[in-house]
Amino acid sequence: MKLYGLSNTKISCALISACISTPYNTTRFIKDLIAGITVGIIAIPLAMALAIASGVPPQHGLYTAIIAGFVIALTGGSKFSVSGPTAAFVVILYPVSLQYGLSGLFIATLLSGIFLVLMGLIRLGRLIEYIPLPVVLGFTSGIAITIATMQIKDFFGLTLEHMPESYISKVIELIKTLPTINIADTMVGVVTLTVLIVWPKLRLKISGHLPALIAGVIVMFIFNQFGYQIETIGSRFTYTLADNTIGHGIPSVLPEFVLPWQHAEFNWDWSTLTALLPISLTMAMLCAIESLLCAVVLDEMTHTKHHSNSELIGQGLGNIIAPFFGGISATAAIARSAANVKAGATSPIAAVLHSLVVLLALICFAPALSFIPLSAMAALLLIVAWNMSAVQRVIYIIKYAPKDDILIMLICMSLTVLFDMVIAITLGIVLASILFMRRIARMTRLVELNRSDDKTLVLRINGPLFFAAAERTFLEIYQKINGYKHIVLQWDAVPILDAGGLNALIHFIDELPEDVDLSICELQFQPLKTLARAKIVPISNKLMFYSTLDEALKDKTKP
């Protein structure tokens, strides 16, 4: 199915190739069902925990997994991706929810979805691959540090009225409140965290998320018998139904259709919209990066190939539709998607079934979910942050990567933690680009070839003649021409000549002494095309072009 007549830009690529182009049978459905149930069980606590960390009630995380997860699975370009709320968004969504409320968060999500669809339509999917690895590792590790810091309050049951915005202030405030530690909350968190750490070593097929939460709930009930009060989802969060009934915890009702901007607490004005636009673009960029990175990881695991632009459109549609049903920002989740593959998924139907499992849990088990302790949810997010930090890859880069890459990664990590992800990614990409250009510029070198006579200087240029290397290269040539009448430059190893290189060449020709001529030979296609467009033509006794070096030298040796 082509969208708006744009070739190679499709929606539902993954579904079409997995279930329509390839026959879909009962055996494959059973495999997808098992995978969907497995991932759904993992997604339920994660969706609630990530919603809480983002500053919104936990049911909105479930709504996101249900609506966005369903839509993206049907319309995206990756066969095995499972989408929903993810940890990467927490550092962006939390300030938005505090400043603009739930409606502001919905509108930002809607706008980010529109940006994502536009990215897919103009085929920006492949460009995401050009973001350097140190930048990606830097901001993901920085996000992990921020998320882990935000969980300290609930993990230890600290009494903290207001969490400051800046990271340093957060740390100072948390240290000040350490004397208020709640032993019961802490024990629940420690037991939950211990189960999460030990469980993978048992090598069981069942994920450790549900057993860890059950262990945390059991510890909570034990402490309750001794009079300890432990904060739970039900004790912190309340909801109001359409008939004005007020309840605690999570409402066991289907997501309702509500226009994002019609919530009572939202004050609509132009300044608010303009403030949300750059935030929405950041959310869209992060969604694009994370979803396509996830697709690449899944391709390596399954030896398949995703459709990047279709995936961006699918992610966009999911983020456009979800806010109308109470959903927040969603993207492909690497951990849940990897679990989906390991559980035996064969198509996007598994991700669809995962959304239905979350929906079933919302309707049937909402009262039970309200008993989950917040310290157990914090332990869950600490594991998520640890996995997200990619500590082993960070250590590997520090040990073996060039110093430039280490510097970029550490700068991105620091800026993400101390300021925000937008500054980190922007400065990281700019710095990485500058350092990359410096590396490429250093590759451009001059090689002096054997001279045919004392009046002819023959030089071979190795590397691109672009703005960062051209002036230095031609200055070096100019310093060598003393005593020579003929300069021959071999360009067989010059792949690129840009505007800066062209300007440097013209300046070099103009500065040549009257009795010195320049010959250029063996031009590659791109430099030749650039010279032709600039109308650089031979000048008698000044500038000549030759097909081969032998022709140029032969002409110089004529009597």
Q: What is the pLDDT of residues 364-409, one digit of tens each?
A: 999 999 999 999 999 999 999 999 888 999 999 999 999 999 999 9
144: burial class by Cβ within 10 Å (0-12, 13-18, 19+)? buried
Distance CA 520, CA 553 (A): 11
Q: Are 220 and 373 in contact (CB under 8 A)?
A: yes
Six-digit token string for 274: 């303009």
If phi > 0 it is left, if psi is from -120 to 50 it is alpha, else beta; for residue 483 that is left
Query: pLDDT tens, 434-472?
Result: 998 998 999 999 999 876 677 899 999 999 999 999 999
Residue closest to 341 by CA, chosen among 36, 3, 2: 36
Query: Residue 447's beta-bridge partner residues?
Result: 460
Stronger pLDDT, 129 or 31, i.e. the higher one: 31
d(CA 144, CA 35): 27
Q: 425 or 310: whose pLDDT is higher?
A: 310
Q: Is the pLDDT of residue 304 over 60?
A: yes
Q: Is 456 helix (H, G, I), strand (E, B) or coil?
A: strand
pLDDT category at 3 given cuts 50, 70, 90 is very low
- DSSP state letters, 353-404: HHHHHHHHHHHHHHHHHTT-BHHHHHHHHHHHHHHHHTHHHHHHHHHHS-HH
Distance (Å, rounded) from C-alpha 86 to C-alpha 294? 12
Mean pLDDT of 299-304: 90
Q: Which of 116-130, 263-277, 529-543 is least confident?
A: 263-277
Q: How many residues does the chain have?
A: 559
pLDDT digits over 315-346, tens only?
Answer: 999 999 999 999 999 999 988 999 999 999 99
Using CA atoms, how far apart are residues 46 and 335, in angstroms rounded to an integer? Answer: 11
Q: How far apart are CA 555 and CA 542, in angstroms?
A: 14
Q: Which residues contact 306 (CB under 8 A, 6 or more apart)?
A: 14, 77, 78, 79, 81, 292, 295, 296, 298, 299
Report the chain's mean pLDDT, rounded to a whole number.
90
| Residue 225 burial (10 A CB sphere; 0-12, 13-18, 19+) | exposed
The first and second tokens of residue 516, run together, are 């010195």
What is the rounded radius of gyration, in angstroms, for the C-alpha atoms of the chain? 30
Q: Which token pair is 426?
A: 């922007």
Q: In sequence order, what E strands does 494-551 have?
A: 517-521, 543-546
**How much is the pLDDT for 452?**
60
Give CA 15 to chain center in angstroms: 23
Q: CA–CA separation, 559 vs 165, rounded Å?
A: 80
* Distance of alpha carbon 391 from alpha carbon 388, whole angstroms: 8
Using DSSP, state whether 232 is helix, strand or coil. Answer: strand
Structure confidence at residue 83 (pLDDT): 97
Element (H, E) at 420: none
Fold of 444-557: Transcription Regulator spoIIAA (3.30.750)
Q: What is the mean pLDDT of residues 418-438?
A: 86
Arithmetic mean of pLDDT, 152-163: 89
Report pLDDT digits (tens) over 65-76: 999 999 999 999
Given pLDDT bands bounded at 50, 70 and 90, which one contains residue 9?
Answer: low
Contact 261, 101 (CB under 8 A): no
Q: How far apart are the first and last CA of the chain?
A: 70
Residue with the bigger pLDDT between 379 and 242: it is 379
Count the alpha carbons within 13 Å of 101 in the hemisphere toward its beta carbon.
11
- Segment holding 54, helix H or strand E: none
CB contact burial 12-47 (16+ within 10 A = b; e otherwise) = bbbbbbbbeeeebeeebbebbbbbbbbbbbbbbbbb
Residues 6+ apart with CB under 8 A from 262: 103
Rounded to an integer, the average pLDDT of 404-417 is: 93
C-alpha to C-alpha distance for 481 and 451, rounded to whole angstroms: 13
DSSP H or E segment with residue 489: strand 486-493
pTM score, whole prediction: 0.83
Residues 486-509: tens digit of each pLDDT? 999 999 999 999 999 999 999 999
CA 135 from centroid of its chain's CA atoms? 10
Q: Which is it for the CA torsion 328, 329, 331, 337, positive or negative?
A: negative
Chain centroid to CA 241: 36
Domain ranges in the chain?
Answer: 13-391, 444-557
Q: What is the pLDDT of residue 11?
A: 84
Asked whether the beta carbons of 448 and 459 are under 8 A apart, the reply is yes
Q: For residue 266, what pLDDT is reported? A: 59
Contacts of 419 (CB under 8 A, 6+ apart): none
Instruction: Name the nearest CA neighbour of 337 among 304, 382, 381, 386.
Output: 304
Cα angle 324-329-335, degrees, rounded to a multiple of 5? 130
The phi, psi pair for 457, rounded to 5°, reads: -105, 120
The contacts found for 476-480 with CB under 8 angstroms, 24 or more apart, are 476/446, 477/446, 477/508, 478/508, 478/511, 480/448
Note every long-range contact of 401-405, with CB atoms under 8 Å and residues 24 or more positions apart, other chains counting: 401/134, 404/435, 404/439, 405/132, 405/133, 405/134
Assess whether pLDDT exceeds 50 at residue 1: no
Q: What is the DSSP letter of 322?
A: G
Backbone angles phi, psi at 488, to 5 degrees: -115, 120
Q: What is the DSSP letter of 539?
A: B
What's the helix, strand, coil split of the chain in %, to 5?
A: 65, 10, 30
pLDDT of residue 419: 84
Beta strands 456-462 and 486-493: pairing type?
Answer: parallel
pLDDT of residue 70: 97
Output the pLDDT for position 267. Answer: 67
DSSP tally for the chain: helices H, then strands E: 21, 9
- Tokens coding 259: 């226009």
User: What percent of the chain shows pLDDT beyond 90?
Assistant: 70
